[in-house]
Amino acid sequence: MSQLANQLAIAEREEVSRGIRGLLGAPLVTQRGVPEIFDLVRRRQEPIRRWFDYYCGWAVRVEPRLGYARLVKVRPSTDASRPARRLRTGRAPFDRRRYVLLCVVSAELLTVPVITIGQVAERTRQATATDDVIPTLDTASRSERRALVDALRLLENLGGLEIVDGSTENYVETEDAKVLYRVNTTLLIRLLALPIGPSTLALPIGEVAERFEELLVLITREHRYGPANAPDTDEVEISPTQHNLWLRHSVFRRLIDDPVLYFSDLSPDELAYLTSPTGRQLLRRAAEQGGFVLEERAEGVLLVDPDSLSTDVRFPDDARTANVAALLLLDRLTEPMTIEQVRLATGRLLSREPNWAKAFQDDGSARLAGEAVAVLRDFGLVREAGGVITPLPASSRYGVQPPEVTRQEDAP
């Protein structure tokens, strides 16, 4: 092997790992949105596809002509901290109305190649009027128009809609706004990542709420694992291949998607699989190919992405006051605390640093405490149950350094 070949191999490894993490950070990568990641994924699609297929069983669809690449994440979500967000300052999460409108609008858009915003609103109004469960869209109300605009802008951002003329935002001000869209039907269809279409279940709407947990599992069941990922069926025997495949994919899906994987959360089978020599080897290989730093500890494993390509938020950092508060609280959270204690501690922090966190200084300690705990919970560092906050093992990662004096490095 010459030096050249080495060079190329290194470059390829780097590109593949960036492509993998890019897709994890944004499962839908469009050429218009992030050209450099799209380009990586397009050029290295084979190894990237192999990686996702082998470790997670997730498909990667690259459509160079249509200008997007899609990682089809199939997984019943247990984490409510990754909502769809409004594309405005503040990036507030979607509420019920916006989610509903997003789905209704998508269904209406699938039938036309080109449409104006007035037609979208009209069709949506008709669709919601004929449905007995969904409240009818009232385009005369400003807040309803805002909700519709937020849904449409999310679709624009994902590439399912392309603006030919006008700006969606104008519709908030007036119903007569003129906006013309071109619909990318293929991409809209691909927005759904479900192996089982919800409409095929034909479930009476009354049962949806009470069977919600079960539903999430139902619509993400994939045929390839047979009965392996349906623990409630004890009918047929599970083939060892399917069983192994399911073990690997179920473990890696969590590892690759979540901040920490605790062994205590795994089933005995999964634990045995992950801690076997084979499992350990796979762990290391997956981390290396994905460009992650693998951290194995007695209580669990986690992947570190030093470039933060594959994560939506960072901790610890100072992007938000809550993140800073979370880090400071973590220093005090050596044992379980009640939420009241956490609030008190937050209050003390605030009064000790009167120049900090101005938005929370006046009686905002409860709010700040809540947000800080949420940050910690979302990173798998604490568990919250019955008003008690319990630190989890990985929280020790961010402990205060032993008294080795650190130089105050000034930030660049």
Partner 1 sequence: MAPLRIPADLFQFSTVDRSELYVAILHAFAEANDRLDTALGLDDLTAWLRSIGWGQPLSDELLVAALKQLGDWKLVDPIQDHTENYRTAADYERNNVRYSLSRRGEAAFAGVTHAMSVLASTGALQTAVLDAIGDRLRDLVAELDGGTDRRIFTTLMELEGHLEALRTNTKQFNGELQRLLRVEGVDLATFHDVKLATVAYLEEFLTNLEQRVHVIRQRIEDVLDRGVARLQRRALTGAELPSLSGTDPGPAWLDRRQARWEGLLAWFVGSELAPPRVEQLHTVGRKAIVTLLQVLDRITETRRRASSAVADFRELARWFSVVPAQDDLHRLWATAFGLTSARHAHLAAADPELIPASASWHEAAPVEVSPLLRSSGRVERFSRTARVRDVAQVRAARAERIAAERAELDAALALLDTGGPIRLSHFDRLDYFLFNHLRDLLGAALATTPNRSGHRAATTSDGRIEILLWEPADRTITTLRTPRGDFRGLDYIVNIRPVESAPGRRTGDSG
Where in 228-257 is the site for partner 1 (CB under 8 A)?
Answer: 256-257
Backbone angles phi, psi at 276, to 5 degrees: -70, 160
Whole-number Cα distances in Å, 79 to 58, 82, 374, 382:
19, 7, 11, 14
The verdict on 133 binding partner 1 (CB under 8 A) reads: yes
The verdict on 298 binding partner 1 (CB under 8 A) reads: yes
Amino acid in the structure at residue 120: V
Out of 142, 304, 336, 387, point to the residue binding partner 1 (CB under 8 A): 304
Out of 162, 222, 295, 384, point to the residue binding partner 1 (CB under 8 A): 295
Site size with partner 1, rule: CB under 8 A: 133
Which residues ranging from 9 to 68 are in contact with partner 1 (CB under 8 A)?
Answer: 9-12, 14, 24-28, 42-43, 62, 64
Which of 162/295 has CB closer to partner 1?
295
Measured torsion, CA atoms of residues 236, 237, 238, 240, in degrees rounded to the nearest 10: -160
Q: What tokens does 286 get?
A: 């997956």
CB of 297 to partner 1, least distance (A): 5
Which residues ranging from 101 to 120 are in contact with partner 1 (CB under 8 A)?
Answer: 101, 103-104, 106-107, 110-113
Angle between helices 240-257 and 268-275 (to 10 degrees): 80
The verdict on 308 binding partner 1 (CB under 8 A) reads: yes
Which residues ranging from 160 to 179 are in contact with partner 1 (CB under 8 A)?
Answer: none
Which of 73/343 has CB closer to partner 1?
73
Which of 238/364 has CB closer to partner 1?
364
Whole-number Cα distances in Å, 108 to 125, 175, 183, 195, 312:
10, 19, 11, 21, 30
Which residues ranging from 309 to 368 are in contact with partner 1 (CB under 8 A)?
Answer: 310-318, 324, 327-328, 331, 349, 352-357
CB of 249 to partner 1, least distance (A): 14
Out of 261, 302, 382, 389, point to the residue binding partner 1 (CB under 8 A): 302
87-96 contacts: CB < 8 A, separation 24 or more?
87/150, 87/153, 87/154, 87/157, 88/150, 94/150, 94/154, 95/147
The verdict on 72 binding partner 1 (CB under 8 A) reads: yes
Place of tokens 């009354």: 206
Amino acid in the structure at residue 259: P
The verdict on 89 binding partner 1 (CB under 8 A) reads: no
Out of 117, 148, 177, 219, point to the residue binding partner 1 (CB under 8 A): 219
Q: In what order do the strands lie in the sheet with 180-183?
A: 114-116, 180-183, 161-165
Which of 174/293 has CB closer to partner 1?
293
